[in-house]
Amino acid sequence: MSSPNTPLDLSLDGGALTALLVDLPSVSGDEQALADAVEAALRELPHLTVDRFGNNVVARTDLGRAERVLLAGHLDTVPIADNLPSRVEGDLLYGCGTSDMKSGVAVQLRLAATLAEPNHDLTFVFYDCEEIEASRNGLGRLAAERPDWLAADFAVLMEPSGAVVEGGCQGTLRADVVLTGTRAHSARSWLGDNAVHKAVEVLRRLSDYAPRRVVIDGLEYREGLNATRIDGGVAGNVIPDECRVHVNFRYAPDRSEEEAAAHVHEVFAGFEVTVTDTAPGALPGLDRPAAQAFLAAVGGEPRAKFGWTDVARFSALGIPAVNYGPGDPNLAHKRDEHCSLTAIAEVEARLRAWLTGA
Amino acid sequence: MSSPNTPLDLSLDGGALTALLVDLPSVSGDEQALADAVEAALRELPHLTVDRFGNNVVARTDLGRAERVLLAGHLDTVPIADNLPSRVEGDLLYGCGTSDMKSGVAVQLRLAATLAEPNHDLTFVFYDCEEIEASRNGLGRLAAERPDWLAADFAVLMEPSGAVVEGGCQGTLRADVVLTGTRAHSARSWLGDNAVHKAVEVLRRLSDYAPRRVVIDGLEYREGLNATRIDGGVAGNVIPDECRVHVNFRYAPDRSEEEAAAHVHEVFAGFEVTVTDTAPGALPGLDRPAAQAFLAAVGGEPRAKFGWTDVARFSALGIPAVNYGPGDPNLAHKRDEHCSLTAIAEVEARLRAWLTGA
């Protein structure tokens, strides 16, 4: 794997540059080496102004263009799962972060290095801690602490979208459903009240849950309500007095955060429900002029974004934003995560055409 | 609380001695300090021969009596639950282990200290790791490694029995029921297969289970089948690919270990079931002469023992054995565990009368 001091050679093609980024591990919370390398490479480029805040790096042109376009990507990955260093098989580059989303970061860096005279002013944002709790998200921290750095007329978030424009994003809400009972020795179980057995009704409602599909601006969103974790019990001979079911609700952007929370409370009516984490979705907004111009330039049929992404943060800042990146969203967070080298080149070429065309 | 070096004053009354033992914590696996204190106190008594094996201490008289009676008790407790140090409220001594079974151990120590001329030869056994997996049980290890130390004509196990003779014991079997699925990002849950949701049917069978009651030698046994633990899931945004339900089956002594395992497999038919730990029950055997003589001496109406106890080990060694101790079995392993000081004195007095009478 690359040493933390390996300089990033931005003259490499997008695939080779992705491999270099992947081989410089940057699990959430541990992005400093990669942020240093990105900052150093960008500071070599005379047409860009570079700023840094924590492990977030922002680079800008200042050409006085009528409009400013922002290209954003996160530097972190989920934990490595025996899938480093990267390796190439035919057209596919395998490894942790190939899809989500160092291929997108590589395209950002390639465009930053080569577009000295774009037709819009450009802002490139590289940020940390996207894969963990929302409170640590680098883009969120920039929006709170350095909002002027994010000023733009339109934003492209380069999360994996299969080289197709994905509109908006779904919201996400986490909650704990807590069952309580009474401890007793398991040899005299009738003196206790088993909290784990009570989870049967919670799991039945989850099993029976019929997730909604909803079409917004022509894009179909698919919701989901799932247990992501369950735990209960203290010892092999004790009737458990607590069981906790952690659920994750992914909801279409026509629900607000409040409506999503109310829905989860309604599904688990009669149970103790505590919302632990929540982030709103973003409506696709594909009817707006900036989005229409982008769609016309890069082509293809747009679709809905299922995963929560930071387009919701741009949406909250009043900046129209879409997801468009070379990674495959279905491979994110999997052991066999990989990305098509052709898709990396294609996304770079289409963005280049848009940002240099008339 | 007592320091590990506090000497045990065996001239204290049974209640005060119990408090001293309770305040010397000895959660399973961590009995050394208490075993050291017990050994040191017993070695002060010239009428006893003392042996030690691991954290197991055995003391014997050798008076050439016609019969040998064994009094046994375990030194360990379940984990402390904010219930130390001990405290007295009226006739009740509160604290972890008061009932299960340091009150019984205190009675053993009082009898060991004061019965220099009993009417039977006496063996006092203090052992470790009773509250955890059977393979670590100190009495089991003695039976395997030092069986001659356990030779006896009749055994009294001083587990909590409410100062009433409890016959036999129920068997216990632990098993894991494992559900498997397929991981996926929770934003695209339809690409995964949620292992936690599949536990619904396992919990339904547990909730619906109708435990059997059965009368043997006039004593009524009550079975129970319970989840003691459940766990599944890896992260807040991943569909879980495994969920494990740990179950504990407590069964009447008319079932063999094999029959108990077959029953659990039948209850969870269609699921992956792995038996992780098993120990047979013991039939009450109250019709035997040794048991009858003991019953006549201590009085009262015998009843069934619900909890698994080491009487099953004596039963397997061919030694008739009963449960008789001052603790309350319904309070074992509870936060508010306590023991009646009157019961401690009463059990000591009745055993003393039996072991010194004609």
Statement: residue A92 has pLDDT above 70: yes
Distance from CA of B203 to the nearest CA of A (A): 5
> What are the chain A neighbours of B133 within 8 Å (beta carbons)?
236
- Any catalytic annotation for residue B62? no
Q: Which residue has the higher pLDDT, B330 or A42?
A: A42
CB distance B247 to B219 below 8 Å: no
- Residue B4, pLDDT score: 54
Structure tokens at B168: 């036999």
Element (H, E) at B279: strand B272-279
- Residue B5, pLDDT score: 61
What mean pLDDT is predicted for residues A145-149?
A: 96
* Rounded Cα distance, B245 and A57, in Å: 46
Q: What is the pLDDT of residues B16-29, one digit of tens each?
A: 999 999 999 999 99
Distance from CA of A51 to the nearest CA of B (A): 32
Contacts of A176 (CB under 8 A, 6+ apart): A244, A245, A246, A247, A273, A274, A276
Interface confidence: ipTM more than 0.85 = no
- The catalytic site residues of A sit at 76, 130
Statement: residue A334 has pLDDT above 90: no
Report residue B218's pLDDT band, with 50, 70 and 90 as the boundaries: confident
CB distance A238 to B333 below 8 Å: yes
Q: What is the pLDDT of residues A260-306, one digit of tens each?
A: 999 999 999 999 999 998 989 998 878 777 778 889 889 889 999 99
Judge: A240–B246 Cβ closer than 8 Å, yes or no.
no
- Residue A190, pLDDT score: 95
Element (H, E) at A278: strand A272-279
> What are the chain A neighbours of B78 within 8 Å (beta carbons)?
235, 237-238
Q: What is the pLDDT of residues B96-128, one digit of tens each?
A: 999 999 999 999 999 999 999 999 999 999 999
Q: What is the pLDDT of residues B169-209, one digit of tens each?
A: 999 999 999 999 999 999 999 999 999 999 999 999 999 99
Judge: A228–B206 Cβ closer than 8 Å, yes or no.
no
Least confident range of B13-17, B145-149, B222-226, B319-323: B319-323
Statement: residue A3 has pLDDT above 80: no
Q: What is the pLDDT of residues B140-170, one digit of tens each?
A: 999 999 999 999 999 999 999 999 999 999 9
* Of A228, A232, A307, Cβ closest to residue B230: A232
> What are the chain B neighbours of A207 within 8 Å (beta carbons)?
197-198, 200
* Of B187, B234, B308, Cβ closest to residue A170: B187
| Catalytic option among B128, B130, B328, B348 | B130
* pTM of the predicted structure, to 2 decimals: 0.76
* Contact residues, A window 131-170, toward B, CB-based 8 Å cutoff: 170
The burial class, CB within 10 Å (0-12 / 13-18 / 19+), for B228 is: buried
Interface residue A233 vs chain B (CB under 8 A):
yes
Report residue A55's pLDDT band, with 50, 70 and 90 as the boundaries: very high
CB distance A321 to A265 below 8 Å: no
